[in-house]
């Protein structure tokens, strides 16, 4: 199982990922193109490319599928996986999928929670009939205890089982990943180290989230040790340094989590091959 750490497009988040020697990251075409970031300079092992269509829409910008396709072709050797350019309506999304396939690419189609609620089951059937890998999206803000979410995931994996690789956009909750055999998933949650001064530790079979918004004196040599949850603060007075330390800790927690989920499903008899 692969957990792609989202945010590898530009700015401080990219710096944290490079500094932590992250292996699997998700980048947004929208931000890469906007900031003229060169993928060939990325030191990561696997890069999942998302179109960034949602971000573009909320910023009242438009991504042209032709430009997206050209970017993928230019950087194909650096990209492990890439998603289709989704629009707000299904017809346009399918048209983008068909265009990218027409120019020789294999974008991962995305089936959304709202499409399932609208009973667009034929769309889903077409995706899993024509593709060996799909993605599901639109559930990042749905409460984990929401009954419809469980029904949605049951529907998806009842049909894909261990035959079709499924990527989950914004899905890294332990309950979900321990219940359903995802091939991969992604999350920006590791960034709460900078955003909300929160620290992750992965211990046993679950994440422990610690609020570090208070000052505690620590010795500098204990920095970044996983057994020391209060290793984040007062080493450097600049907020940038504190953010970096916390985020790197969270990246390492996610790396441990990825190993655990992979081992768990291997024991259950599911081991995804490239």
Answer yes or no: is pLDDT of 141 > 80.
Answer: no
* Predicted local distance difference test score (pLDDT) of residue 208: 81
Q: Could you tell me which residue, 208 or 109, shows the higher pLDDT?
A: 109
50 and 83 Cβ atoms separated by less than 8 Å: yes
Percent helix, strand, coil in the chain, to 5, is 45, 15, 40
Residue 44 and residue 26 in contact, taking contact as beta carbons nearer than 8 Å: no
Q: What are the boundaries of each domain within the chain?
A: 2-196, 197-274
The confidence band for 215, taking pLDDT boundaries of 50, 70 and 90, is very low
- Assigned CATH topology for domain 2-196: TIM Barrel (3.20.20)
Place of tokens 């610690």: 210
Among 241, 255, 245, smallest CA distance to 187 is for 255
pLDDT at site 69 = 98
% of the chain surpassing 90 pLDDT: 58
CA torsion sign for 203, 204, 205, 206 is negative
Highest mean pLDDT of the ranges 60-74, 197-211, 222-236? 60-74
How does the average pLDDT of the chain come out, rounded? Answer: 86
**What's the pLDDT score for residue 54?**
84
Q: 62-71, 91-100, 201-210, 231-240: which has the minimum mean pLDDT?
A: 231-240
Please determine, for residue 165, whether its predicted confidence score (pLDDT) is greater than 90. yes
Confidence grade of residue 236 (pLDDT, cut at 50, 70, 90): very low
């Amino acid at each position: 199982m692969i957990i792609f750490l989202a945010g590898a497009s530009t700015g401080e988040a990219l710096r944290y990922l490079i500094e932590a020697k992250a292996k699997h990251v998700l980048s947004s075409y929208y931000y890469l193109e906007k900031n003229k970031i060169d993928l060939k300079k990325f030191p990561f092992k696997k890069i999942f490319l998302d179109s960034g269509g949602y971000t573009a829409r909320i910023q009242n910008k438009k991504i042209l599928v032709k430009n997206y396709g050209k970017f993928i072709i230019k950087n194909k050797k650096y990209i492990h996986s890439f998603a289709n350019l989704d629009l707000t309506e299904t017809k346009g999304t399918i048209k983008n999928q068909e265009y990218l396939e027409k120019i020789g690419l294999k974008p991962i189609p995305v089936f959304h929670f709202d499409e399932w609620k609208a009973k667009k089951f034929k769309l889903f059937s077409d995706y899993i009939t024509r593709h060996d890998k799909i993605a599901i999206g639109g559930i990042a803000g749905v409460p984990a205890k929401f009954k419809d979410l469980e029904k949605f995931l049951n529907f998806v994996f009842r049909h894909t089982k261990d035959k079709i690789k499924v990527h989950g956009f914004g899905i890294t909750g332990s309950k979900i990943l321990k219940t359903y055999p995802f091939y991969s998933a992604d999350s920006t949650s590791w960034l709460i180290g900078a955003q909300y001064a929160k620290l992750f530790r992965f211990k046993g079979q679950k994440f422990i989230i610690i609020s570090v918004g208070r000052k505690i004196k620590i010795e500098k040599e204990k920095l970044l040790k996983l057994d020391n949850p209060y290793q984040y603060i007062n080493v450097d007075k600049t907020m940038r340094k504190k953010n970096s330390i916390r985020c790197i800790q969270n990246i390492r927690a996610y790396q441990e989590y990825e190993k655990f989920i992979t081992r768990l499903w291997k024991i259950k008899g599911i081991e995804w091959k490239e």
